[in-house]
Amino acid sequence: MPEGTYRGAIVSAGWIGVAPGPGARSPFGHESNPQERDAYEHDRDVPAPGESKVRAPGESGVSGRRWTTAEPRSAPTIRSMTTPPNPVGVGFIGAGDISILHAKAVDRCPGAKLVGLWNRSPQRAEERAAEFGCRRFETAAALIDDPDVDAVFVLTNLETHLEYARLALLAKKPVLVEKPVAASVAELLEMKQLAEEVQVPCMPGHNYIYEESLRRSAELIAEGELGRLVSVYVMYNIHHPEEVAKRYPGVVRQILTHHSYILRFLAGRVRRVSAMKAVLHYEEYTEEDIAMATLELENGALAHFCASFAADDHAADPWTVVVKAIGTAGSTRYSYRDWVEIKPGLVHSQTYTAYQGSITSEVRHFVDVCIRGNGAPLSTLDDAIDAQRLIEAIEVSVAERRVVDLGTTAN
């Protein structure tokens, strides 16, 4: 990507916005045109409930629009797309299971192409490169420095996310970082600070909120169409054999991170949390296979989290993956069980189509809105920091067997 193509103001939400001047050309060779900047027709910079995101004229986004708490969040609507003359070249750092879903997502995004990948295991890298039809790089640095790579996806283990995100950002390459985005709040703060300094997009891999039904739920809650919010339930019950579970941290980090950013997106910040965890079906692996949390939101509503690798839910209307919001005047629901293919998934006995769909929508947003359109992600690094603070509070609650008060500004 040519140097000097990014300019404009830093957005306080943790994403770097750009404002091309009149008639300016984007990094990908086409003239800047607000009506052709992305593959979504929507109001950009959707605020979290109770927040105000203000942009001055000339900052990223469309026409210096100002968001206030009175304005509802707006759900993007995908419209037909044609392949741009210069697709965004994507490079993967990491070639584990999640790379398969991201490769399919890139393939389904007309504005992007997968250039290549690097993985710490050369054999795995060779296999995935052949499978995806892309190049294999000898080092992560070589991938990042390649002129054909315009954007980087960090798909490695959690402990290395900051390291590789830093390399990409210093090279002025937009980066999407899989969740959990970092191992600690401190790492996330460092990542955010660097993104602001270099003025390059750094998007958290918070894929679930790019599902249309969850965006619609957020809109209904924000507009007050459900009345006063009473409760939110985020449930996950999918059995993982021990040999599969060993690839991941426990369910608190691996699954409750999803729950945390979903709750933040739908209903706002958490005031207090109480949590428990257990190990029920592993013989050797010591990380938890089930965890639950009860949460009090700043708006007074209560929420419940459940994350389990211990067992599938085989009952009628199962809680495989369910997000439910209940208000005094209405309710909403999102469920994996609405889209099921009777064939094995990557690590599951069935294929839950919604998960691939959420990643595909996330990748399209990153490419077409954040990179091409100079827009913002629906969930920012600030939201990732909030989610991580909640995860760390859950871990304290479990360890000390007490309710943890996050305060009104701590998360």
Dihedrals phi, psi of 115, to nearest 5 degrees: -85, -45
Q: What is the pLDDT of residues 19-45, one digit of tens each?
A: 333 333 333 333 333 333 333 333 333
Residue 239: the pLDDT is 93
Q: What share of the chain is helix, strand, coil (3-state, %, to 5)?
A: 35, 20, 45
- Tokens linked to 300: 């007074």
Q: What is the pLDDT of residue 7?
A: 29
The residues, ordered by sequence, that sit 6+ positions from 160 with a Cβ below 8 Å of its Cβ are 154
CA–CA–CA angle 142, 109, 169 (5° rounding): 35
Pick the CATH number of 88-205 from 2.50.20.10, 1.10.230.10, 2.30.30.230, 3.40.50.720: 3.40.50.720
> pLDDT tens, 319-340?
999 999 999 999 999 999 998 8
Q: How many residues does the chain have?
A: 411
Instruction: State the average pLDDT for the chain.
Output: 83
CA 357/CA 334 separation, integer angstroms: 13
User: pLDDT at position 45, please?
Assistant: 36
| Tokens linked to 342 | 């009777």
pLDDT score for 187: 98
**What does the pLDDT read at residue 287?**
95
What tokens does 17 get? Answer: 């916005």
Q: What is the pLDDT of residue 339?
A: 87
Q: What CATH homologous superfamily does 210-359+388-405 map to?
A: Dihydrodipicolinate Reductase; domain 2 (3.30.360.10)
**363 by DSSP, 3-state: which?**
helix
* pLDDT digits 0-9 by tens, 113-155: 999 999 999 999 999 999 999 999 999 999 999 999 999 999 9
CA distance 26 to 6: 9
88-205 and 210-359+388-405 in the same fold: no
Q: Is the dihedral of CA 393, 396, 401, 404 positive or negative?
A: negative
- 12 neighbors 197 (Cβ within 8 angstroms): no
Task: Tell me the domain boundaries of the chain.
Answer: 88-205, 210-359+388-405
Predicted pLDDT at 297: 97
The CA–CA distances, whole Å, from 104 to 97, 173, 203 equal: 12, 21, 19
More confident residue, 294 or 74: 294
Q: Which two tokens stand for residue 369?
A: 């809105």
C-alpha to C-alpha distance for 140 and 128, rounded to whole angstroms: 15
Residue with the larger pLDDT of the pair 61 and 161: 161
DSSP 332: E
Please give the backbone phi and psi of residue 63, each rounded to the nearest 5 degrees, phi first: 55, 30
pLDDT tier for residue 341 given thresholds of 50, 70 and 90? confident
**SS3 state of residue 147:** coil
Which residues partner with 175 through β-bridges?
Answer: 152, 202
The one-character DSSP state at 368 is I
Q: What tens digit of pLDDT does each residue of 228-285 get?
A: 999 999 999 999 999 999 988 899 999 999 999 999 999 999 999 999 999 999 999 9
Determine phi and psi for 238, rounding to 5 degrees: -130, 120
* pTM for the whole structure: 0.79
Instruction: Write down the H helix ranges in 172-281.
Output: 185-198, 212-223, 242-245, 251-254, 256-267
Percent of the chain residues past pLDDT 70, beyond the cut: 78
pLDDT at 372 over 90: yes
pLDDT at 314 over 60: yes
| Backbone torsions φ then ψ of 3, nearest 5 degrees | -70, 155
